[in-house]
Amino acid sequence: MLREAEMAETTIRHRLTEPTGTVRCTAGVATMQFAMADIIADFLVKYPKVNVFAHAADRTVDIVGENFDLAVRAHSDPLPDSNLVQRTLAPAPWYLFAGTDYIEKNGAPKNPQDLQTHPSLFMMRTGVSPVWRLRHARQARDEVVVPLTPRLIADDMVGLQQAAIKGIGVVALPGYIARAAVQSGALCRILPDWLAGDSTLTALIPYRQGLLPSVRSFLDHLAAEFPKAVLL
Q: What tens digit of pLDDT does each residue of 185-228 get? A: 999 999 999 999 889 999 999 876 778 999 999 999 999 999 99
pLDDT over 90 at 80, yes or no: no
Q: Measured between alpha carbons, how far is 192 from 47 in angstroms, rounded to an integer?
A: 38
Model confidence at 63: pLDDT above 60: yes
**Where does the chain have alpha helices with state H?**
2-17, 29-31, 37-46, 100-106, 157-165, 175-184, 213-229
CATH number for 2-90+200-229: choose from 1.10.10.10, 3.90.1300.10, 3.40.47.10, 3.40.190.10: 3.40.190.10
How far apart are the C-alpha atoms of 97 and 50, rounded to whole Å?
Answer: 38
- Residue percentage of the chain with pLDDT more than 90: 73
Whole-angstrom distance, CA of residue 26 vs CA of residue 62: 10
Q: Where does the pLDDT of residue 83 fall: very low under 50, low under 70, confident under 90, or very high at 90 and above?
A: confident
Range(s) within the chain of domains with CATH label 3.40.190.290:
94-195
Residues 6+ apart with CB under 8 A from 65: none
Q: Domain 94-195 falls in which CATH fold?
A: D-Maltodextrin-Binding Protein; domain 2 (3.40.190)
- In the chain, list all ranges with CATH 3.40.190.10: 2-90+200-229
Contact indicator for 214, 19 with CB cutoff of 8 Å:
yes
Give this prediction's pTM.
0.83
Task: Indicate the pLDDT class of residue 173, thresholds 50, 70 and 90.
Answer: very high
Strands 170-174 and 120-123 come out as parallel
For the chain, the average pLDDT equals 90
